[in-house]
Amino acid sequence: MLKQKILAFTISMGLIAMPLSVFADSVPGETIVTLGQNLTETQKKALLAEMGAPSDARMVTVTNQEEHKYLDGTIPSAQIGTRALSSAMITIGEKNTGIIVQTNNISWVSNSMYTNALITAGLKDANIVITAPFEVSGTAALTGIMKAYELSSGQVIPEEVKKVANEEMVKTAELADSVGNKKAVQLVAKVKEELAKNPNMTTDELQSLINRLAKDLGITLTDDQLNSLMALFEKMKDLNINWDQVGNQLTKAKQQISDFLSSEKGQSFIQKLKEFFSALFDAILSFFK
């Protein structure tokens, strides 16, 4: 079964538990599968079974060249590798209900990082499963998801938007290495929320905003980290991004997690989590008795 990283979702800006929905003009219920070109036939069959892909799902191939196209200059080429292995399944749902991301064998990019980057790219309303035949960083998966979106909706994501979405994903993951996943995702999401309200803010206003939000989250940014985030958000400001949609999707994400946590299902999850950590704590104490 696919490993749903629910805990990472619940603590990362509530970018979890969003019901299925629809890409642009796509048909609800439509499923598109992206498979890395360098997967063996055995690996393809195993991943399709793991994702539960329906027999009528549309199949799309993603090449390593495509992955390099959007990631070169953002991370070292060696980290991207020479083989396309990451795969994904996108299921279209009903309008205005959100995005949910599930991952398996993804070691570096979290569910909420994917969600945040996909919102920047203009995607909305879909159930997305990302996996690989063995553990990979996950940086290449975004390329396949955006390719599937374009084929499904008939709408083209501008090349510069694809690049900035990939850059956002990578820079958030890099920041998470030093400040933790939760705070890194929160900082990036909060800056985007403010940009959605005022996409024309000046460079000084943007820098002040990042510093203020980082301080509020208890993050001490290095000069390099601040400059890196400034460069990212300056690029976003200059692109033709639908900031109203970005703001709506982020607001929806927070509302969805609030609804989830107050629901019977959410309360049951929290209780099980408490029981798990209680049992774990008791087990640790037993070693010292």
* pLDDT, tens only, 42-79: 999 999 999 999 999 999 999 999 999 999 988 888 88
Instruction: Please name the amino acid found at residue 50.
Output: E
Centre a 10 Å sphere on the Cβ of residue 7 and count the other Cβ atoms it contains: 11
Using one digit for the tens of pLDDT, what is the confidence trace for 130-170? 999 999 999 999 999 999 888 887 788 999 999 999 999 99
Per-residue confidence (pLDDT) for residue 257, from 0 to 100: 52
Which is more confident, 43 or 122?
43
In this prediction, residues 75-93 reach a mean pLDDT of 89
Q: What percent of the chain has pLDDT over 70?
A: 76
Query: Could you give the CA distance from residue 212 to residue 65 in angstroms, rounded to a whole number?
Result: 39
Residue 172: beta bridge partners?
Answer: none
In the chain, what is the greatest distance between 2 CA atoms, to the nearest angstrom? Answer: 64
Which is more confident, 206 or 155?
206
Which residue range(s) make up the domain with 286? 1-289
Query: Could you give the CA distance from residue 132 to residue 242 in angstroms, rounded to a whole number?
Result: 31
Using one digit for the tens of pLDDT, what is the confidence trace for 125-139? 888 999 999 999 999
Q: Single out the residue of 242, 255, 244 nearest to residue 16, CA to CA.
A: 255
Torsion sign across C-alpha atoms 279, 14, 181, 110? positive
Provide the 3-class DSSP secondary structure of residue 55: coil
Burial 217-234 (b: 16+ CB within 10 A, else e): eebebeeebeebbeebbe
Residue 61: beta bridge partners?
Answer: 35
Query: Could you give the CA distance from residue 125 to residue 84 in angstroms, rounded to a whole number?
Result: 26
Query: Could you give the CA distance from residue 66 to residue 102 in angstroms, rounded to a whole number?
Result: 23
Provide the 3-class DSSP secondary structure of residue 100: strand
Which is more confident, 5 or 249?
249
CA-based Rg of the chain, rounded to a whole angstrom? 19
Per-residue confidence (pLDDT) for residue 267, from 0 to 100: 52
Angle, alpha carbons 99-206-13 (nearest 5°): 25
pTM: 0.75
Using one digit for the tens of pLDDT, what is the confidence trace for 228-255? 999 999 999 888 787 777 766 676 555 5
- Mean pLDDT lowest among 59-63, 88-92, 104-108, 249-253: 249-253
Domain count along the chain:
1
For residue 114, what are the contacts with CB-CB under 8 A and spacing of at least 6? Answer: 101, 103, 128, 130, 138, 141, 142, 145, 169
Alpha helices in the chain (DSSP H): 6-10, 41-51, 64-71, 77-80, 111-120, 141-153, 159-179, 181-197, 203-216, 223-238, 243-262, 264-286
